[in-house]
Structure 1
Amino acid sequence: LKTVTGVSTASIAKLGKGENITTAVLIKICEGLQCDLTDIMELVDDENAVSPEKGTVEGIE
């Protein structure tokens, strides 16, 4: 994967551990594998996620 995409070993390790990576890394992976983001990602609801409060920077409407 590193050779095909140019993604660093550290980023690949993060993927393996289920840690967050940047969108730029995801795009590099897609370009290297000639696929779309929807081919390598899945939107999963996080039941433990905390919704930002209205009026905060995270909760801007």
Structure 2
Amino acid sequence: MNDDDIAGSDGLIAITMELSTEVLEAFQSTGDRWEERINAALKDWLKHHNPSDVKI
């Protein structure tokens, strides 16, 4: 299955994920469309970083 099989017409895929309270509250405090801001922040981060480099 590729992204075209599950993505909506807007190119977004609905998922369930866990965020820290700190991150969630920071984005929710920005008001409506906070979920879109999380996506925008992650897309911007990907321009300069590689997810596999994140140490967890």
Q: With the length of structure 2 as denominator, give the TM-score of the two structures.
A: 0.28
Q: With the length of structure 1 as denominator, give the TM-score of the two structures.
A: 0.27
Q: Which has the higher helix share?
A: 2
